[in-house]
Structure 1
Amino acid sequence: MVISKIYRSLVFMVYGMLAVFTSMGWAYVMLILSHCVLLYSISLVKLRWLCFIAGLTTLATFKMEPFISWQAGFVTGNFELRPLLFYGGCGFTIMRSMSFALENCEKKDGNYSILELLKYNFYLPFFYFGPIMTFDKFYIQANNPNLTRKDGEMWNISLQGLLHLGVIMIVAALLHFMYILTIPSDMKLLKNISDWALGMYAFTCILGLAYLNLVYDWVKAAVMFGVINTISRLDHLDPPKPPKCITMLYVFSETISSLHF
């Protein structure tokens, strides 16, 4: 039991690599490994500015030809999620490698091994879609042999899972039954309906459907991160908090107060 606790981060890495290989192929795994090796090699110099430049330059190659076409050629197949998984996996890999490189620069005695970077990067729940847990936090939590839970923690995790499932069902129902753009796109229908019906439609759009459309991206991010966070909490990790809704105005006050002029 103690051995399994010690090597659980290694198990996470192996499982993640096998899952990525199954979904995207060995060529894609080799591309991801090349990004990890590149930024790991640069981190050995222990210059933070160089790690920043290397990471941002590597990210920029996904917007520059012929680099983007060359890298995209490592993935075969035309399945629907291919572009999303390709860019998500590569982008988050580079950002995680930057976090590792910056932490390695701060390490006073020696360097972290590249195995630690691979364990960190190939943790499957975070691999394709994030969120980004910085390397220092992941390293401590993933290598913690004391895997105990607080009272009621499993109940809270189960409740969160059910909540996210309920939100997913509600969003699916809204997308299927509420067509906010259908009536405006049909001008013949607008001309034939009464003023009262048109006014009620506008009122409903302003107070209801338009608001749902406004926060739709936030709902997607909150549900996606929420599901991922719930899974990672089952692995005894403390993931980053989900994004806040854009309609919560106090977020702006928090943002302003956090700035130091």
Structure 2
Amino acid sequence: MTPNADQSYDKRKRSINHNVDFKQKLSKAFTDLSFERKIYLVLLLTTAVASVANIFFESVEIEAKLKNGKLNRVLGLGWRTLSRKQDIADFEWTFWFSDLRESIIAALVGHVIISYFASRYLKPVRHTLQALYCIYWVRAALGPTFILIVVSYCATFYVVSALSKSRLMCWILTITSILLLHFDSFYMEVLPSTIEVDGTFLSLAYVSLGFVTLRCCSYAFESIDDRSSKKGQQYGFHRLLQYNFYLPYFFFGPVMTYDVYIDETMPTHSKDNLLNIFKEVAKTMAGIAVIDFLLHFVHVSSVALDLEYMQTGPVYVVGFLLFANVMLDWMKAWVLYGVTSNVSNVVDGYKRAPQGPKCLATICTFADTYFDRGIQHWVCRYIYDPVGEHHSNVTKETIASVLTFIFVTLWQGPGIQVIIWATLNCLGLTFEFFLGTITPQEDKSKKRLVAFILGLNYWCILLFNTVGISGMETARISAKAMFFNGSLWNFTVAVVLGYCYAAFITLSPTSKDKTE
């Protein structure tokens, strides 16, 4: 055989072996399940399939009602070849992946190309080139005045941190900047005059300024705390500008704290590295395809806003709608933050870059459900861990949780819906801390007790996050339909489904403490 034929044969052999290994792993994963966990899995999957079918037919009815003018809501154009309308009730997905899709792809592709060539041929000015490329996109999208606003933010935080060397002063400046962003009329007057487009880019400007504030605050805190010999090199004003004008995180997030930014490694663009990039791109495209399919065939967001259906629909479908809407929110974060984090990690060498959220289908505690891992790391590093210290004192832990959610509320905008969402999640997190002494032991009876508690806890997670996603009224009606309408059947079904889900996770031989 020729060398080329040998190589082709080896590739086919590796491909066959890979497929065989995957099938063996899949078969082993199912056979390793205990009989009890198989029952839970079959029951959950059956419920999910029945719920999807029910929601599909309800989606068809919604489209018919829209055509007849019986509903005020609208659906997008969707896929004309399949005669399917798109569910556009979810604002964030429409904002990021419909209105700004082409701009996001073009900006990230350009950043990858520039970073690749700069890391190979222009290493000393790599960060400067990245910053200049980001400034080009910021100017194109938001105008030159917005760039001056960002630079003024950087200059203010730099001067305050350098002169005062006080964390308190930096906190005052941070809170003031956030409050001005939400309440001051200055931005409402200045930004629209510099952004000659629709409200989409105006929303993008507010989101970007929020991220800029957190990055400047992170730089100030790290500058005050750092006493190393490299402080002069790492904390110059030019480094603060490079840190802020880093395109993968400028518009889209998540927030990368400054200690992670300066702890970079020079990327190595090997074949394996490029292969990893293609793998992550393929995963992202698959995620987008799944979400797009759901938005066209199963209108979970619109159905969840149909309060009449949420009152009268089967209890298992109502529960699945709660799960599906929170899962959709998780998938948005996974796609968007996964893309930017992978670019930062694989292309630019930030190995500690914020990762995507933990899968909602594998967790049942409030501590794991914050989808923006960048914000989670930020508040833990600068609020939750310093106040809670070793997280062993109930009083300090409660104060740390309250302060954390107060700040998150201010940053996201202190509307009534956000305040209710933050309050409920803070109570849930505090409740989990009090239950920290209840841990799954080897005794399966104790694990089942924990599964019962975590099953109810998981319904609280879905309901509390529904407040922020679909509104207080949807969450209230859903809770009433499942637990408080006087129907023993509905209550039993909800408790059993929650228990099956939590028990499937908790009874795993490798499961860790779910209340840790």
Bucket of the pairwise TM-score, normalised by the shorter protein: 0.7 to 0.9
Aligned amino acid, residue 50 of structure 1 = M
CA distance in 2, matches of 1:83, 1:237: 30
Aligned amino acid, residue 161 of structure 1 = V
CA distance in 1, matches of 2:186, 2:256: 28
Aligned pairs (5 A) from 1:135-146: 135-141=258-264, 144=265, 146=266
Q: 2:268 aligns with which of 148, 159, 165?
A: 148
1:10-36 Cα offsets, whole Å, 9 max, x none, are 111111111111111101111111111
Tell me if 1:18 matches 2:141: no
Aligned amino acid, residue 124 of structure 1 = L
Tell me if 1:50 matches 2:169: yes
Provide closer, same or farther for how the CA distance between residues 184 and 220 of structure 1 changes in structure 2, counting only shifts above 3 A.
Answer: closer
Provide closer, same or farther for how the CA distance between residues 202 and 95 of structure 1 changes in structure 2, counting only shifts above 3 A.
Answer: same
Tell me what 1:28 maps to.
146
Tell me what 2:326 maps to.
214
Between 146-155 and 168-177, the greater mean CA deviation after superposition: 146-155
CA distance in 2, matches of 1:134, 1:148: 23
Tell me what 1:69 maps to.
188
Provide closer, same or farther for how the CA distance between residues 120 and 186 of structure 1 changes in structure 2, counting only shifts above 3 A.
Answer: closer
Tell me what 2:220 maps to.
101
Deviation at 1:119, TM superposition (A): 0.4
Q: 1:5 aligns with which of 123, 138, 159?
A: 123
Whether contact under 8 Å (1:51, 1:98) holds in the other structure is yes
Aligned amino acid, residue 252 of structure 1 = A
Bigger helix share: 2
Aligned amino acid, residue 326 of structure 2 = L
Provide closer, same or farther for how the CA distance between residues 118 and 170 of structure 1 changes in structure 2, counting only shifts above 3 A.
Answer: same
Percent identity, aligned pairs only, is 25
Deviation at 1:242, TM superposition (A): 1.4
Q: 1:231 aligns with which of 343, 364, 382?
A: 343
Tell me what 1:194 maps to.
none
Provide closer, same or farther for how the CA distance between residues 94 and 253 of structure 1 changes in structure 2, counting only shifts above 3 A.
Answer: closer
Deviation at 1:185, TM superposition (A): 4.6
Provide closer, same or farther for how the CA distance between residues 115 and 74 of structure 1 changes in structure 2, counting only shifts above 3 A.
Answer: farther
Larger radius of gyration: 2
SS in 2 for 1:84: helix
Tell me if 1:124 matches 2:244: no
- Any unmatched runs of 5+ in structure 1? 191-198
Provide closer, same or farther for how the CA distance between residues 68 and 4 of structure 1 changes in structure 2, counting only shifts above 3 A.
Answer: same
Tell me if 1:172 matches 2:292: yes
Greater RCO, 1 or 2 (C-alpha within 8 Å, sep 6+): 1
Cα RMSD of the aligned pairs, angstroms, is 3.2
Whether contact under 8 Å (2:158, 2:237) holds in the other structure is yes
Between 155-164 and 26-35, the greater mean CA deviation after superposition: 155-164
TM-score by length of 2: 0.43
- Any unmatched runs of 5+ in structure 2? 1-118, 370-379, 381-387, 394-516
Aligned amino acid, residue 147 of structure 1 = P
CA distance in 2, matches of 1:122, 1:203: 48
CA distance in 1, matches of 2:221, 2:281: 34
Deviation at 1:236, TM superposition (A): 2.1
Aligned amino acid, residue 26 of structure 1 = P
Whether contact under 8 Å (1:126, 1:228) holds in the other structure is yes
Whether contact under 8 Å (2:158, 2:220) holds in the other structure is yes
Tell me if 1:241 matches 2:359: no
Whether contact under 8 Å (1:27, 1:74) holds in the other structure is no
Provide closer, same or farther for how the CA distance between residues 204 and 156 of structure 1 changes in structure 2, counting only shifts above 3 A.
Answer: farther
CA distance in 2, matches of 1:236, 1:94: 24
Q: 1:252 aligns with which of 354, 358, 367?
A: 367
Provide closer, same or farther for how the CA distance between residues 206 and 29 of structure 1 changes in structure 2, counting only shifts above 3 A.
Answer: same
Whether contact under 8 Å (2:260, 2:350) holds in the other structure is no
1:125-167 Cα offsets, whole Å, 9 max, x none, are 00012111111221231xx4x4336884433332122111111
Whether contact under 8 Å (2:157, 2:170) holds in the other structure is yes
Deviation at 1:70, TM superposition (A): 3.9
Whether contact under 8 Å (2:333, 2:357) holds in the other structure is yes
Provide closer, same or farther for how the CA distance between residues 98 and 89 of structure 1 changes in structure 2, counting only shifts above 3 A.
Answer: same
CA distance in 2, matches of 1:210, 1:55: 35
CA distance in 1, matches of 2:211, 2:307: 42
CA distance in 1, matches of 2:191, 2:359: 34
TM-score by length of 1: 0.81
SS in 2 for 1:132: coil
Deviation at 1:7, TM superposition (A): 1.5
CA distance in 2, matches of 1:214, 1:98: 30
CA distance in 1, matches of 2:368, 2:130: 39
CA distance in 1, matches of 2:155, 2:177: 12
CA distance in 2, matches of 1:73, 1:127: 20
Tell me what 1:205 maps to.
317
